[in-house]
Structure 1
Amino acid sequence: MASARRNQLLSVGCLAGLLVGGAAPAMAFTSFDVDFSAANKKTSAEATGVSGKMTFSFIKLDPTNAADNRYTLDLNIQNTSPVSGNPSGTLTAFAFNVPGTTSSPDFKLLTYNPLASNFGDVWGASTSGAERNVSNNQILNFPTATPSRAAYAPFGSFTFCARDTGNSCHGGSQNGTGLTDGQSALVRFTLASNKSSINSATLVAQSFFDLFNSRTFTNDGDFKNAQVALRFQNVTTTSGARGKSDKVAGVPRKPPRSPGDPVPGPLPVLGAATAFAFSRRLRRRITTAELRNQPAA
């Protein structure tokens, strides 16, 4: 009986441990937003007040094949500057890095498709450092060798940059065909993971999110450390100054909880209380049974 009692109490202890220790795992997500605000010179070169948003959405290209390390990135780009009133501007270019180092990136970009957008002038997509142009809905294949990076003054260089028209990602025409206030466009990439440990769309999304979130913008000029950026031209500032341009750093927004994610809260505490109450009742029953089974004096 003593042995049975110990086993039963051990089971209760395990149950309580599971309930108390069942902390919610990290949130799983396959897409996230990046916000761009030129409200000050911590996040933008000129603090003109324009704003934008990019949504990164990742899908495994062949989910039935565990060995396939290719993914689709649907990238939505939006000019969130007010449709009427100032600040106002045309979003003419976007740029981003991939996780890893320049010499050993965690991902390789495979193809780029501007779809119906006008972002067809591409840098960071050749081995010569020259611009490569792609027409709407035409797929651009990246070279097998490591492509040149895209200069993006006053930032550093980026893995990839595309713009509407012009002679470089950090210069170009004032008469672009980019996104005006309130407009958005979708472009598409395929990429491959170079690391066996990054083998799902959620891990790919987390990797990009962590990279973009690796910088803090607390001082003027910190925008230069950004891992993702937008360029605006034909800008009218909040104060009404015209003919300006700006380059703006991106800050990733905390992703929403996926439908399958557990809801954090007091459940572990309630579970522990339930287990404790159950163990007290069990101990009483065991004690009563032992007393009944004892031989009479």
Structure 2
Amino acid sequence: MASARRNQLLSLGCLAGLLVGGATPAMAFTSFDVDFSAADKKTSAEATGVTGKMTFSFTKLEPTNAADNRYTLDLDIKNTSPVGSNPSGTLTAFAFNVPGPTSSPDFKLLTYNPLNSNFGDVYGASTTRRERNVNNNQDLVFPATGTLIRAAYAPFGSFTFCARDTGNSCHGGSQNGTGLRDGESTAVRFTLASNKSTINSATLVAQSFFDLFNSRTFTKDGDFKNAQVALRFQNVTTSSGATGKSDKVAGVPKRPPQGPGDEVPGPLPVLGAATAFAFSRRLRRRITSASLQSASPA
């Protein structure tokens, strides 16, 4: 009986130890969505009402040496404007910045592959002021040296990278877009490298891009110009029936439902720690008392 009692108390002791020593795991993500809505001029140039979504997903590449810190960015792009009704438009271009100062970014873009999309006219990927064209499923290799010229995106500022379906630039060009119609989606792929040793996992890369895109708030007309990620629509018909419009829309990142991460443990809540501590003290007294009773002669 004494032995069974002691095992029961020891089991409770293990539970208390887990309560005191355990930690709630941090939440982490390697992908997130960015929503685009041209509902008003806080987030778009013309407030035509068209909408879109991009999903940024990061995966760390197998390192080839100790200093290797490369990642794949799989980027899904969708025109979420309603099918069969207005507003309606063709999504013809996308643009984004990378975290860090323009003169010394935290990431270097290495390659771009349009996969099977029509986004093969690339800007912000050259040391000259001319666009670079890339065929489907063929990598465009970014220059290894020199400063890449940023992509003009009036009335926004310029962006680290921009790709579009057809035209002479990302902020102008043809009205005969071959991009994404209402409800259509596609995917493109990048490889990139972290320039910072402290950004060394897919979760930290995703967090870095999320924080950059989330660094702007859109509270008044014209705030869209400060966006860090944007879409361009052409051949737009507004909800009121106006035709022949175009629009550029700022993106707002959406933090995904979070699952357990494995990088930084979270602290046990203060109330839980205090309760566990008090419980462990009572448990030690009970174990001591049980030991004395078992040692006494019958």
TM-score range, shorter chain: 0.7 to 0.9
Shift of 1:238: 1.6
Task: Please give the secondary structure, in 1, of the residue aligned with 2:259.
Answer: coil
Counterpart CA distance in 2 for 1:112 and 1:128 is 17
Deviations 1:97-152 (A, max 9, x none): 00001100001101111010000011001101211111111111111222100000
1:161-240 alignment to 2 at 5 Å? 161-240=162-241
Give the C-alpha shift of residue 277 in structure 1. Answer: 2.9
CA separation in 2, counterparts of 1:234 and 1:214?
30
Structure 2: runs of 5+ lacking an equivalent: 1-13
Q: 1:15·1:275 contact (CA, 8 Å) conserved in 2?
A: no
Superposition map of 1:245-256 within 5 A: 245-256=246-257
1:171-224 CA-to-partner distances (Å, cap 9, x unmatched) read 111111000000001001111111111111111111111100111111111000
**CA–CA distance in structure 1, aligned partners of residues 112 and 174 of structure 2:** 23
Check the 8 A contact 2:78/2:183 in 1, yes or no.
yes
CA contact (8 A) 2:125 2:161 kept: yes
Change (3 A) 1:203 1:277: same
Alignment of 1:49-128 (within 5 A): 49-62=49-62, 67-128=67-128
Taking the aligned partners of 1:80 and 1:15, their CA distance within structure 2 comes to: 47
Q: Letter of the 1:58 partner, please give it.
A: F
CA–CA distance in structure 2, aligned partners of residues 217 and 252 of structure 1: 12
- The one-letter code of the counterpart of 1:252 is P
Q: Distance in 2 between matches of 1:87 and 1:273?
A: 57
Identity of aligned residues (%): 75
1: distance between equivalents of 2:162 and 2:240?
30
- The CA RMSD measured in Å over matched residues stands at 3.0
> 1:31 and 1:123 mapped to 2: Cα distance?
24
From 276, 281, 298, give the equivalent of 1:279. Answer: 281
Which stretches of structure 1, 4 residues or more, deviate above 4 A after TM superposition?
11-17, 63-66, 259-264, 266-272, 284-291
Question: Displacement of 1:32 after TM fit?
Answer: 0.7
Give the alignment's TM-score, normalised by structure 1.
0.85
Superposed counterparts of 1:261-280, under 5 Å: 269=271, 272-280=274-282
Question: Which residue identity is paired with 1:138?
Answer: Q
In the TM superposition, what is the alpha-carbon distance from 1:28 to its structure 2 partner? 1.4
SS of equivalent residue, structure 1 residue 277? helix
- Cα distance in 2 for partners of 1:273, 1:191 equals 47
Cα gap change, 1:136 to 1:277, in 2 (>3 Å): same
Q: Which amino acid aligns with 1:42?
A: K
One-letter amino acid matched to 1:136: N
* C-alpha distance 111-64 of structure 1, shift in aligned 2 (>3 A): closer
Contact kept? 1:23, 1:268, Cα under 8 Å: no
Q: Write out per-residue CA displacement over residues 70-113 of structure 1, whole angstroms, 9 at most, x where no aligned residue.
A: 11111000000011211110000000000001100001101111
Distance of aligned partners of 1:260 and 1:211 in 2 relative to their CA distance in 1, 3 Å threshold: closer
Task: Indicate the SS of the match to 1:165.
Answer: coil
Residues 14-61 of structure 1: CA deviation (Å, up to 9, x unaligned): 876546xx4552x21111110001111111111111000000111111
Aligned length: 281
* TM-score, structure 2 as length reference: 0.85
Paired position in structure 1 for 2:130: 130
Deviation (angstroms), 1:240: 1.5
Query: Do the aligned partners of 1:33 and 1:55 also contact (CA within 8 Å) in 2?
Result: yes
Unaligned runs of 5+ in 1: 1-10
